[in-house]
Structure 1
Amino acid sequence: MSSECHGKNAWPELVGTNGEYAASVIEKENTSVDAVVILDGIPVTADFRCDRVRVRVDRNGIVVKVPTIG
């Protein structure tokens, strides 16, 4: 589905970085998305959106999964 979306759609290089930092990098590299920092494991909606990137972090605020559009 991410092929429907414009611009960069995944940021594997941000795993292990601070979530807020990762969100700022994502929004700078793809101005069509809003990056939302969330705690890994919390329930989220399953809808796919080209304008959203969920940045999943652990309790220390470190990115634990590859942020992708969706």
Structure 2
Amino acid sequence: MAGVCTGDLGKEIWPELLGVRGEVAVKVINKENPKLSVVIIEEGMMVTMEIDCERVRVWVDKNGIVNVVPRIG
């Protein structure tokens, strides 16, 4: 997915947030780029497949821990 969104997006991926609480990840991403829409997605939830260059999905496990590296798209 890297490179799909073009323009001055700033940071596009947050590998350092893997393993932290989802709510913490959302706060960090919002602080670094308040233009993005950041949403928590629980493991097993259905989502649409379209790419949105103004969105970050924060995937969490049943304990609310980020289990996929958050990225724009």
Q: 2:10 aligns with which of 1, 7, 12?
A: 7
| Matched length | 69
Identity over aligned pairs, percent: 51
Runs of 4+ residues over 6 Å off in structure 1: none
Q: Secondary structure at the match of 2:29?
A: helix
| Bigger Cα displacement from structure 2, 25-34 vs 52-61 | 25-34
Is residue 17 of structure 1 aligned with residue 10 of structure 2? no
Is residue 36 of structure 1 aligned with residue 1 of structure 2? no
CA deviations on 1:15-68 (whole Å, 9 max, x unpaired) are: 000000100100111122011011123211011111110000001000000000
Q: Give TM-score, length-normalised by structure 1.
A: 0.91
5+ unaligned residues in a row in structure 2: which ranges?
none
Counterpart residue identity of residue 50, structure 1:
C
* Higher helix content, 1 or 2: 1
1:49 alignment counterpart = 52
